[in-house]
Amino acid sequence: MIDNLKYPSINIALPDWVEPFLAGKTGPIKDLEERMRLVVALSRENVRHDLGGPFAAAVFDDAGNLVAPGVNRVTAMNCSVLHAEIVAIALAQQAVGRFDLSDGGRRHFDLVTATEPCAMCFGAVCWSGIRRLVCGARDEDARAVGFDEGPKLENWIAALNERGILVVRDVCREEAVKVHRDYVAAGGPIYNSGQAFREGMQEPE
C-alpha cells in the first residue's frame, strides 16, 4: 500500500472564449433553428480556437433560456468522455442543482446538439432528465469524415421515445455538416481510440 497516494482530479470547465462569445445570446430563444445556429456557431468557434473537435451542444429550459453550453473537450483535456453533450448536461445539472433535470418529470429541458449523439452520449441522454433532443448533423455525417460514433442502437430514436424523450432531427443539418468538413479540410485530428486495432493491426505483446 502506498502512503499518501493522491489521484488527479478533473474540473469540467468551458474554455475561456465561450462566456464572451455567448454574451447577449443566452435567450430566451424560442425558435429551434435559432438555437441550433447558436450551437453550430459554438462548434465552429471550438474548431477555430483549436481546442477540440467540431462538436457543440447546449441545454435550454422550457422558456428558451440557455442553461448551459457544451463544447468538445476531448483533446484539450485528454479525456475521451468530454464530448459536447456530456459537458452541456453536466454543467446544466450543476446549474439547476439536481442530477435529474426534469425534477421527476415536472420540468422540461431540451438538449440541442450540432451532431446526433454517439453511443456514449446516447446513454447520457437517457439518464439526464432531458425531455427533448434536437439534432443537427446525423450520425452518418460524423462517420463520413472519420469519427467513430460507437455501437449505437439501430432504433435509438424509438428507444428514447419509449423513455419519454422526443427526438427532432436535421435542424440546420447542412450548416452543422459544413463544420465537420471544414474541420477535416483544415487538418483537424480524427481521434478514435483503438482504431488501428479495429482495422486489423495486432495487439502488441
CA distance 59 to 4: 40
CA angle, residues 192, 194, 197, in degrees to nearest 5: 130
Mean pLDDT over 143-159 rounds to 93
Give 49-81 pLDDT, tens digit per residue.
Answer: 977 789 999 999 999 999 999 999 998 899 999
Which amino acid does the sequence have at 31? D
Q: How many CB atoms lie within 10 A of CB 1?
A: 3
Contact between 19 and 69 (Cβ < 8 Å): no
Q: What is the model's pTM?
A: 0.91
CA distance 191 to 94: 28
CA torsion sign for 188, 194, 197, 203 is: positive
Give 119-134 pLDDT, tens digit per residue.
Answer: 999 999 999 999 999 9
Catalogue the E-assigned strands of 72-202: 109-115, 132-137, 166-168
Where helices occur in 63-187 by DSSP H, the ranges are 74-77, 84-96, 119-128, 139-144, 156-162, 173-185
CA angle, residues 11, 98, 156, in degrees to nearest 5: 85
Q: How many CB atoms lie within 10 A of CB 168?
A: 13
Strand ranges across the sheet with 109-115: 66-71, 56-61, 109-115, 132-137, 166-168
Nearest to 125 by CA among 148, 92, 95, 147: 92
* Active site amino acids: 85
Residues in a beta bridge with 168: 134
Q: What percent of the chain has pLDDT over 70?
A: 92
Give 34-57 pLDDT, tens digit per residue.
Answer: 999 999 999 999 999 977 789 999
